Chain A
Amino acid sequence: MTFASTRTLVVITILWAIALFGIDYAKNPKAAEQLFSSKLMGVSAKDGKPVIKLWMNHMCCTGCLSDVTKALEKIPGIKVRQKDLESQESADMEATNKPKDYGNEVDLEITDLKTVDFMMIDHALRDAGLTADRMELSGPRHFRLNAELKHVCCSLCATGVREGLEITRGLKSQGHFKWLDSFVVDKQKKLVTAHARYDATADVNELIIALNHIGFQPTAVFAVVDAEGGVQPNSAP
């Protein structure tokens, strides 16, 4: 029977820790002074600039992007960031090579997150004949999504929403709702508040689809940035 010496254990421990740090650094390169900076460790962690990314399962050329830009130009608080895509003329030619994937990402510049209604984005895209598969919000470290429901007429409705959304727990193991920390249903305000996990990227579409699945259509979905360890407004006892 042979046992590990203290030296062997210390060497393996340090090598393994260095390997983990190394992988972390290689995948998220940062200046050494930033690696252990207070920001990364969480002191007074500042919110990043909010970013909305739309994943469009179809976005093959500038014509598609142009339609999306046009559809979203009237929505307050956002602006479509232009990107290099196959030109519409080129995509229209028979000799054009078929892309591996017709999908593409569309970045939205946010001028005022408070005014951005994700339902308006969804409706505008559908009216333009397109849909976003994912609407991802990231940047703020603590935020929540407030989904306003037109119909919550009784306690059973509120319970129905609450119980229906419980499926999100089960779906986490299948890779969905990874961003969701918890949710609160407010019958009086007809509001579903979905608290995102710290520093997470929330797929707003997942929330909308889940609400649709349990029989409710949100009239509006807004993101609200919380302060660190912040106050949740609608759930005081």
Chain B
Amino acid sequence: MLRAHAARRVSGLTTFLLFLFASGVVYAHERFVKHNLRYPLHLEFFGRWPDKPLGLHPDMMLIALRVAGILGAFFAIWFLRRTLTEIVERSLLRRIGGSIQHWGHKLACFLTDRPVRGKLFHALGEWAVILFLRSPGLVLMYSATNDSLVMPSYPLDPASASIFKFAQVGLAILILTQTWLPLCGAMIVGTWLYLFRWGWMVAVDAVPVLTVAVVYCTSPWQSHKLAITKINAQQMRLLRLVLGFGFLALGWLKVYNHNLVAGVADNAPSVLNDPMVAMLTGGHDVTYFYRREAWVVAFGLAEVMSGFLVMIGVFSRVWTSIMAFMFTKLMLVDFGWDEIPHIYPIAAMLVVIFSNQLTSEVDPIERMDEDAWRAGNTAKRVGIIGTTAVVSAILIVFPLLYIISFFDRSAM
């Protein structure tokens, strides 16, 4: 339905936009989401601790080590996944046989991003694509009725609100009727560029919005005549890159702009008890002095980790499933109706979860690993896997955490 070369064409645009984002360093802070701190954070936690390793607070260091450890472990398991699944399938599932073997094989395929065969899975994948392509229209309509731009957390200026609201409704109609999707994609990217007017943090906050723009831009002009229910491998790669990068950036933004995230937690304290984040913080009790501070860092780094792994295509289904669950929980349990626009990122994650077109950015390394495997060179294999896992884990977590600790964010 959708041509691969169009996806390649737009990859140039995406690269340009990612570069623009990366180079757009100006100083500002997120202005609009609910972030009233109920009492101040202990800011020294985020600053420099000269006597400690890397000059970071010991608890922050522990959180970073845990995240790096998980990241490294996932990398290592990724390279060993075929060996591991073969062992499980041959030595365990084959002996059991029957439906358990059948479903066990499907589960293994699902967890390792291999194609999953099955009518239900296929149907859910098609439905997820339809939801993903149309849900931005609903979000835009919702934002327009709430005097906001793109997301309800960006209120419109009263002087220009009417024009922006009509523009959003117009775009939403195009999206819902699937008309001129490339135009819709370009308009979404253009709107995202406009968000820089309100500061780079606002634009970073909205990076996930670009995920759908990538698919729109690579769709045909005659989109209204088509039933688009599939996303090809090229589009899926772009989608995964932008979605993962968006959450990677959002994660670092959370660590950088700690007051905002802590303020959100102050307004919805149940998020402090999240088990996944608690695992990273070490499960401190409520009397722990730096409880909110540790939560902010753990929450941010968890998003960095999951965003990065989705971006490079390592256990994409596992991580998008976790993220989809988290977002659904935030929407239904913690924040309620205010977070109804989360339908859109959840839809994007469902598309990844139910896609049979998943690829990985670490394929070249995996090929090297396979060559070593075939050559029976175990030491080389261990070297490739170990080096990739350790170096990636260290590079993703520590340099930015170290750099951010030099910034004084007390006035944010």
Question: Can you name 5 A-B pairs with beta carbons within 8 Å?
Answer: A14-B190, A14-B193, A16-B187, A226-B36, A228-B412
Chain A residues near B267: list those with CB within 8 A.
Answer: 182
- CB <8 Å contact, A2 and B221: yes
B325 within 8 A of partner (CB): no
Give Cα distance in the complex from A14 to B186, angstroms.
8
Closest Cβ neighbor of B260 among chain A residues: A229
For the complex of A and B, the 4 pairs showing the least CB-CB separation, nearest first, are A16-B190, A41-B28, A4-B182, A12-B186
Give Cα distance in the complex from A43 to B31, angstroms.
10
B interface residues with partner A (beta carbon < 8 Å): 3, 5-6, 9-10, 12-13, 16, 26-32, 34-40, 145-147, 155, 157, 159-160, 163-164, 167, 182-183, 185-187, 189-191, 193-194, 197-201, 217-222, 259-260, 263, 266-267, 337, 411-412
Chain A residues near B167: list those with CB within 8 A.
Answer: 20
Contact of B221 (CB < 8 Å), options: A3, A26, A38: A3
Known A1-B220, A21-B197; judge A228-B411 contact (CB<8 A): yes
Chain B residues near A35: list those with CB within 8 A.
Answer: 197
Closest Cβ neighbor of B338 among chain A residues: A169
A190 within 8 A of partner (CB): no
- CB <8 Å contact, A12 and B187: yes
- CB <8 Å contact, B28 and A38: yes
Closest Cβ neighbor of B258 among chain A residues: A229
- Closest-CB distance, A6 to chain B (whole angstroms): 5
18 additional A-B pairs beyond A3-B9, A41-B26, A229-B412, beta carbons within 8 Å, are A2-B221, A4-B6, A4-B217, A4-B221, A5-B9, A12-B183, A13-B190, A13-B193, A16-B189, A20-B191, A20-B194, A24-B160, A41-B200, A173-B145, A182-B36, A231-B40, A232-B38, A237-B38
Chain B residues near A100: list those with CB within 8 A.
Answer: none
Chain B residues near A178: list those with CB within 8 A.
Answer: 147, 155
Contact of B199 (CB < 8 Å), options: A6, A16, A42: A42
Give Cα distance in the complex from A199 to B156, angstroms.
11
Give Cα distance in the complex from A198 to B199, angstroms.
15
A70 within 8 A of partner (CB): no
Chain A residues near B6: list those with CB within 8 A.
Answer: 3-4
- Scoring A20, A44, A181, A200 by chain B CB atoms within 10 A of each residue's CB, the highest score goes to A20
Chain B residues near A8: list those with CB within 8 A.
Answer: 182, 186
A235 within 8 A of partner (CB): yes
Closest Cβ neighbor of A11 among chain B residues: B186
- Closest-CB distance, B161 to chain A (whole angstroms): 9
Closest Cβ neighbor of A141 among chain B residues: B31
Known A12-B187, A169-B337, A182-B36; judge A2-B222 contact (CB<8 A): yes
Give Cα distance in the complex from A230 to B260, angstroms.
11
Give Cα distance in the complex from A24 to B222, angstroms.
32
Chain B residues near A20: list those with CB within 8 A.
Answer: 164, 167, 190-191, 194
Give Cα distance in the complex from A237 to B265, angstroms.
13
Contact of B39 (CB < 8 Å), options: A16, A36, A44, A232: A232
Give Cα distance in the complex from A228 to B219, angstroms.
44
- Closest-CB distance, A174 to chain B (whole angstroms): 10
Closest Cβ neighbor of A233 among chain B residues: B39
A128 within 8 A of partner (CB): no
Closest Cβ neighbor of B201 among chain A residues: A42
Chain B residues near A36: list those with CB within 8 A.
Answer: 26, 197
Contact of A13 (CB < 8 Å), options: B155, B157, B186, B412: B186
Give Cα distance in the complex from A15 to B189, angstroms.
11
- CB <8 Å contact, A231 and B37: yes
- Map CB proximity to B onto A25-63 as digits: 1 under 8 Å, 0 otherwise: 011100000011010111111000000000000000000
Chain B residues near A209: list those with CB within 8 A.
Answer: none
A10 within 8 A of partner (CB): yes
